[in-house]
Chains A and B, each alone.
Chain A
Amino acid sequence: MYAYDDFDTQLVAERVAQFRGQVARRISGELSEDEFKPLRLQNGLYLQLHAYMLRVAIPYGTVSSTQMRQLGVIARRFDRGWGHFTTRQNIQFNWIKLEQAPDALAVLAEVGLHANQTSGNCIRNTTSDQFAGVAADEIEDPRVWCEIIRQWSTFHPEFAFLPRKFKIAVTGSPNDRAAVRVHDIGLRMVKNAQDEVGFEVIVGGGMGRTPIIGKTLRKFLPKQHLLSYLEAALRVYNRYGRRDNIYKARIKILVQELGIEAYRREVEEEWAAIKDGDLRLPAEAIAQIAAHFAPPHYPERPTRPAAFLEALRGNIDFARWHARNVAKHKQPGYAIVTISLKSEGQPPGDATAEQMDAVADLAERFSLGEIRVTHEQNLVLPHVAVADLPEVWRGLAAHGLASANIGLISDIIACPGLDYCALANARSIPLAQSIALRFNNWQRAERIGELKIKISGCINACGHHHVGHIGILGVDKAGQEFYQLTLGGSASDDAALGDLLGPSLDTEATVDAVDTLVETYLSLRQPEERFLDTYRRVGLAPFKEKVYAAH
């Protein structure tokens, strides 16, 4: 894991002091709200429906036990005892007081955490694959590059006031778990013909009002040029991105309006002028960061321990959880455990301070002190010995964290929606809960298999509805909560945007419609087909017919 050195520590301390000064100047009235708002946003502080919300970065989703406990401290001391893990590997606290925000940031800084650039029109927290470093299918650990990007983008003087926010994601695996095609810039680690590892650079993807799948800007970028290339891409965007209309200010619109070829020409021209300058990464610098992510020492553990096999045979709940939530680790004798934050009745992504402590303790005992946060709003214990799985499972179950539903219909992504968010049209959480309740029979859920439902409370698409197998978007119809459904989206390597099913529905009809969609799929599917596969084969019509026939 990345560990702060004295430079990182001092930088974050200076930033906390700087923000403390800004807050004091706001409260004293020296700064007006208009002047202060972008400053607080650049430190992750929003004014939401009920209160100030603080969004803390979990860079590339990696967090230590110590850090996780400190998030629990924030929840208890500065908030109401819990936090919400978001779709961008951040955690949000919903009730932070402005006057206490600098203290909360100081507490976070003690363990190397911060809220830098988790909002605002700047380069945001770089996200990655939650299985980075342990996935069997990985070319290289993408977190090395996320950390390099994090450092370069932190307080970048040229890019603090971009036309709009800018999100970067990196994946090191051909099986994209970081949704790189729906980011402003997505980086895929690839090998060229000479077997060198570099990046495919994808640009202009995104969701929101104008969802677009990103386009390839460059097929292969040698590693040492990553930062100069990003700087060139950002500079072109900063200079030419639209600033007249907030809905047209993202880079995807610039790329669309210029055309990918013209944008590429601009970037390549800019890059040619800076590629051999100070941003070129010396091998030693890369090695220095990479050393932080060197594979940990894995004590040798049995690959098929007797107690584990016994538990698999004798305990159906454990066996189910194992089948659903445990993934293959690249190290023999080890496994990757995904902890579901979607237990029945729980708002997706919420965790109490007690749960954070419990996960921190389990990670310390069984996962080399390391935890991951996923963009699907779950947690991961990345290094669990197979022999320890039964005990880890019991430990999770004791805290309501052993739901065996990863990838199933109740593993729903949902944004905070109208219960918290000032921009929302409709609530997301109660809808997610109703759907989870409707499908709470696990045999049925297993029969349905992989099905990703994603819910956003408004067009900003924080719940990634465009790329849900079933996407649900909250809309406001004459002051009432309605929902629009889309089918066939995907955030994976086969990225696609969902197709609109038809007119929006009220809450109850939405839950019924999901039920109907599922039944329709079950009646049409061929062996081994997931919902998405069936949808791609048969198209929208049979689903549409069934859902609206009743209305």
Chain B
Amino acid sequence: MAKAPKLVSNPQIVTANDLASGDVVYLTKVNSWTRAIEQAAIAPSLEHSAALLAEAEAQARRNIVVAPYAVPVTLETGNPLPVQFRERIRAAGPTAGIGAGPGE
């Protein structure tokens, strides 16, 4: 999505795609990757997400994941919920049609 607001003060999680499968994945507290957004490691703000992002980028260089980046979230429901619409669709799957929902 074009130029989404940076949302620097929001908590952040880090996402990427698994290299071999292409699955949407999130970085966990123990530096592994999960498909479940609830298990994502949470940084309190963009500033604090640097360490997570550095770890993710290191793993991208080791060809585990592709194209990592930080995603601003809210924690109102307890679990991280992306602020941006695009990231919500990415987390939950397509919103319409045969493929709606998270699949498998």
Contacts and interface: CB of A to CB of B under 8 A. Distances in A.
A50 B104 CA distance: 13
A481 B63 contact: no
A98 B20 contact: yes
Interface stretch (B26-34, B44-52, B73-81, B92-100): B92-100
A420 B94 contact: yes
Contacts, number: 97
Nearest to B63: A29
A35 to B, nearest CB: 12
A27 B63 contact: yes
A397 interface: no
Contact of A419 (B4, B22, B95): B95
A425 B4 CA distance: 10
A96 B85 CA distance: 24
Contact of A429 (B1, B85, B97): B97
A133 B98 CA distance: 33
Contact of A80 (B19, B24, B66, B99): B99
A52 interface: yes
A99 B21 contact: yes
A97 interface: yes
Interface string B44-74: 0000000000000000101100110000000
Contacts of B103: 80, 95
A347 B1 CA distance: 21
B97 A419 contact: yes
A44 B18 CA distance: 19
B19 to A, nearest CB: 7
B86 A418 contact: yes
Q: How large is the interface on A (under 10, 10 to 19, 20 to 34, 35 or more residues)?
A: 35 or more
Interface string A471-483: 0000010111100
A347 B17 contact: no
B22 A47 contact: yes
B67 A33 contact: yes
A534 interface: no
Contacts of B97: 346-347, 350, 419, 429, 433
B20 A97 contact: yes
B22 A352 contact: no
B96 A49 contact: no
B98 A350 contact: yes
A51 B23 contact: yes
Interface string A30-60: 0001000000000000010111100000000
Contact of B85 (A47, A94, A481): A481
Nearest to B103: A80
B10 to A, nearest CB: 12
Contacts of B98: 81-82, 346-347, 350, 352
Nearest to A83: B98
Contacts of A429: 94-97
A99 B96 contact: no
Interface of B: 1-5, 17, 19-24, 60, 62-63, 66-67, 83-86, 89-90, 93-99, 103-104
Given A52-B22, A98-B20, 7 more contacts: A27-B20, A47-B66, A50-B90, A350-B98, A424-B86, A476-B4, A479-B84
Interface of A: 26-29, 33, 47, 49-52, 80-82, 94-99, 346-347, 350, 352, 418-420, 424-425, 427, 429-430, 433, 458, 476, 478-481
